[in-house]
Amino acid sequence: MKNRLLFLFLSFPVMLSAQHRLESTLNGLRADDVIVKQQVQYKDPGRTGENVLWDFSRLNILNDAYELFYSTYNDTVITGTEHSTKYHYVLQNDSLLLWGFDNQTTKLHNVQPELLLKFPMNYGNKVQSDFYAHGKYGNRLELDAMGVIETSADAYGMMILPSKDTLKHVLRTHSLKYIAEDTRPIGDAYYEKRDNPLHISSDSIHSRLQNDSVIFVVETFRWYEKGYRYPIFETVRSWEQHIGNQDYEFLATAFFYPPQEHYYLDDDEENQALLDAMDDDGNNSTPDPWEGLTYNVYPNPVTYMPLEVEMYLPRAANVRANLRSSMGLISKSINNGYQPEGVYSFQMDVSGLTLGNYVLDIWLDDRLISEIIMKR
C-alpha cells in the first residue's frame, strides 16, 4: 500500500565576479531564528550553469505569511517547526543531516539519515546519500521509507524577487530525492524495529528503487544570497514515477522568504559583516561591457508550451535569436530589435517543431549565447 501523506512531509523545510558559497558558520541552522515565508505560485526553475537570471517579480502570492521557527533541546539537534510539523536536524562534521520529523498524525525516524548539505558548498559541488526511515502513521499504520537523495550547487547568478528587489550574489542548490515506501498495519514487527533499528544496505535500497512499480520523487531548488543565512526562495515539486506508465505530479509550489522579515538578521554578525562589505565595495568600473549579463531559458525539455527567454541586459543591444537543428538548419528565427538596458523577455513558439535536440542562438549585437534545447 502506498501512502502519499508520508511523502509530503519529507522535503527539507554572483555580479558574479565573486561566487557565493555556503558555509556552516554562515548558513548553518540556529536555535531561536524565525523565518517568515510566503507561498507563491510555482515557476520553472530554469537552466543550470553560470550567470543565470531568475525573474520572480511577477509571481502571485498564494499565502501571505507563515513562520518557520528553529529551536533546540540539546547541543546537537536543531528542530525546525512549520505547519505543526517538527523536522529534526544535526550538523555533524560539517554535514547537515535530517534525522526525521513528527506531527499529530505521523512520526518518522531516519535510522540512516539524509545528507542534505556538506559545508562548504561551492558551485559545482555535489553530495549524495542513501537513507532509511521507520515510523508510523496514526496508531494504525507502520511506515518504512528508503531511497537516495542528491544535492548539487548547480547554478549561480542574479535574482529579481516578488518584492522587486534585486539580488546579485545568488547560489542555487538542487535536491532530488527518490523514495520507495511501504505501509502495513502496526504489529509486533513495528515494535521490534523501533527498539532494534535495522540497517538497510545500499544494494537493497537501490534494488527497491529500480524494481518498485511506484517511486516517489521530490525535487527542491533553493536560492541563497550572500549575506543571508537561510534561503531567499524555494520551489518544491513532487510526483509519482510509474514503471512503464506516465508520471503523476501531485505537488508544485514555491516559497519566498522576504529578507527584511528574517528575525535573525539583527544578531547574525557573520552575515551582517558580509552585507556591510558588499555595501562598501561600490560600483567599480570594468573593461567588460557585458559584465552582469544574466539569462534564463525554460522549460527544457520543452513540449507544446512556448520557450521562455529572460535576460538582464547590462547595456542596450539589438536582440535576435535562432533555433537550429543538429544539422545546422534554422528552424525558427526571431528579430526583437533594439532593447534598452534592464530586464527583457521574449518567447519562441516551438509547437510545430519535430522532436529532437536544437541549439538556441541568441545574439546581443556581436555577443553570442548558445543553449541546447530538447523538444519532447
The model's pLDDT over 50-103, given as tens digits with 9 standing for 90+, comes to 999 999 999 999 988 888 999 997 778 999 999 899 999 999 999 999 999 999
Q: At which of 217, 243, 274 does a domain end?
A: 274
* Residue whose C-alpha cell reads 537552466 in the numeric block: 47
Q: Is pLDDT of 375 > 70?
A: yes
Q: Is pLDDT of 13 > 60?
A: no
Looking at residue 316, the DSSP 8-state letter turns out to be -
Q: Is pLDDT of 172 > 50?
A: yes
Q: Are residues 13 and 141 in the same domain?
A: yes
Q: Which helix (H) or strand (E) holds 9?
A: none
- Do the Cβ atoms of 359 and 331 come closer than 8 Å? no
Q: Is pLDDT of 210 > 90?
A: yes
Residue 13 maps to a domain: yes
Q: Are residues 173 and 306 in the same domain?
A: no
High-pLDDT (> 70) share of the chain, %? 93
Residue 339 maps to a domain: yes
Q: Are residues 29 and 141 in the same domain?
A: yes
Identify which has the larger pLDDT, 104 or 163.
104
Q: Are residues 216 and 156 in the same domain?
A: yes
CA dist., res. 171 & res. 185, Å (int) = 44
Single-letter residue type at 369: I
Residue 109 maps to a domain: yes
High-pLDDT (> 90) share of the chain, %? 70
Of 200, 153, 158, 164, residue with least CA distance to 180: 200
Residue 27 maps to a domain: yes
Q: Is pLDDT of 17 > 60?
A: no
pLDDT in the model for residue 281 = 57
Looking at residue 59, the DSSP 8-state letter turns out to be P
* Residue whose C-alpha cell reads 559541488 in the numeric block: 125
Q: Are residues 229 and 266 in the same domain?
A: yes
E-strand ranges in 139-277 read 141-160, 166-185, 214-225, 233-242, 248-256
Single-letter residue type at 50: E
pLDDT in the model for residue 183 = 92
Range of the domain at 252: 4-274
Q: Are residues 142 and 63 in the same domain?
A: yes
Q: Are residues 267 and 366 in the same domain?
A: no
pLDDT tens sequence across 106-115: 999 999 999 9
Distances (CA, A) of 85 to 4, 218, 302, 310: 16, 18, 36, 37
Q: Three-state SS for 202?
A: helix
Summarize the confidence of residues 155-181 as an average pLDDT. Answer: 94
Instruction: Residue 53: count other Cβ atoms within 10 Å of its Cβ.
Output: 24
Q: Are residues 30 and 171 in the same domain?
A: yes
Residue 283 maps to a domain: no
C-alpha cell at 132: 532509511
Q: Is pLDDT of 165 > 70?
A: yes
Q: Is pLDDT of 19 > 70?
A: no
Q: Are residues 219 and 363 in the same domain?
A: no
Q: Are residues 320 and 209 in the same domain?
A: no
pLDDT tens sequence across 316-327: 999 999 999 888
Number of domains in the chain: 2
Residue 285 maps to a domain: no
Q: Is pLDDT of 342 > 50?
A: yes
Q: Are residues 264 and 316 in the same domain?
A: no
Q: Is pLDDT of 10 > 60?
A: no
Per-residue confidence at 355, pLDDT binned at 50, 70, 90? very high
pLDDT in the model for residue 247 = 86
pTM for the structure as a whole? 0.89
Q: At which of 242, 274, 306 does a domain end?
A: 274
- Do the Cβ atoms of 215 and 241 come closer than 8 Å? yes
340 preceded by cis ω (within 30°)?
Answer: no
Q: Is the dihedral of CA 260, 262, 263, 264 positive or negative?
A: negative
Q: Are residues 110 and 259 in the same domain?
A: yes
pLDDT in the model for residue 339 = 95
State the CATH number of the domain containing residue 364.
2.60.40.1930
Per-residue confidence at 9, pLDDT binned at 50, 70, 90? very low
CA dist., res. 9 & res. 110, Å (int) = 13
- Do the Cβ atoms of 40 and 60 come closer than 8 Å? yes
E-strand ranges in 26-140 read 34-40, 49-55, 61-72, 77-82, 85-92, 95-102, 106-118, 126-137
- Do the Cβ atoms of 222 and 172 come closer than 8 Å? yes
CA dist., res. 250 & res. 239, Å (int) = 6
Residue 222 maps to a domain: yes
CA dist., res. 116 & res. 159, Å (int) = 23
pLDDT in the model for residue 15 = 39
Residue 131 maps to a domain: yes
pLDDT in the model for residue 68 = 92
Mean pLDDT of the chain: 89
Q: At which of 274, 307, 328 does a domain end?
A: 274
Per-residue confidence at 263, pLDDT binned at 50, 70, 90? confident
CA dist., res. 116 & res. 96, Å (int) = 6
Q: Three-state SS for 211?
A: helix
C-alpha cell at 63: 499565502
Distances (CA, A) of 366 to 196, 289, 319, 331: 67, 12, 10, 21
